[in-house]
């Protein structure tokens, strides 16, 4: 399933009871501001933009180098930045808890004790 930016904008407009055009302007402005941060800070400066609680964009500087293995042997790789979106571990845990109706403490590597059945006399 793909949820588009347009779908999100419509849902925000409906939920907050505001004009869709206003939400579109807010999204566009937010996107422009994020792009400005990513493209204007010094390239060697590592940059983290926290979009929402648990969701962030990371920009990392990669120095120029000469590749020495594989099919790119003796190729120059210019300096550049690598940009990735990331979800926090907490955010992932919250998603799994909501999806699978898990209680705190249940999950990876943790065992849940099951009560012994009563013995009839």
87 Cβ neighbours under 8 A, 6+ residues apart? 54, 55
pLDDT of 27-81, one tens digit each? 999 999 999 999 988 888 899 999 988 999 999 988 888 777 777 777 888 888 8
The dihedral sign for the CA sequence 111, 53, 58, 27: positive
Asked if 89 and 72 touch (Cβ cutoff 8 Å), the reply is no
**CA 90 – CA 49 distance, rounded (Å):** 17
**CA 54 – CA 48 distance, rounded (Å):** 12
Asked if residue 115 has pLDDT above 80, the reply is no
Q: What is the mean pLDDT of residues 73-101?
A: 88
Nearest to 61, CA basis, from 35, 75, 76, 42: 42
């Amino acid at each position: 399933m793909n949820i588009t930016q347009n779908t999100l904008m419509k849902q925000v407009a409906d939920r907050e009871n505001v004009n869709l055009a206003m939400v579109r302007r807010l999204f566009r402005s937010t996107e422009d501001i994020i792009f400005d941060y990513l493209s204007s800070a010094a390239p060697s400066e590592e940059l983290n933009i926290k979009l929402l609680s648990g969701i962030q964009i990371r920009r990392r500087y990669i120095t120029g180098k000469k590749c020495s293995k594989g099919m790119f042997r003796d190729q120059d790789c210019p300096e550049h930045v690598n940009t990735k979106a990331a979800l926090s571990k907490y955010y992932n845990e919250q998603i799994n808890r909501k999806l699978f109706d898990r209680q705190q403490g249940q999950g990876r590597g943790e065992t849940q004790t099951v009560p012994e059945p009563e013995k009839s006399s």
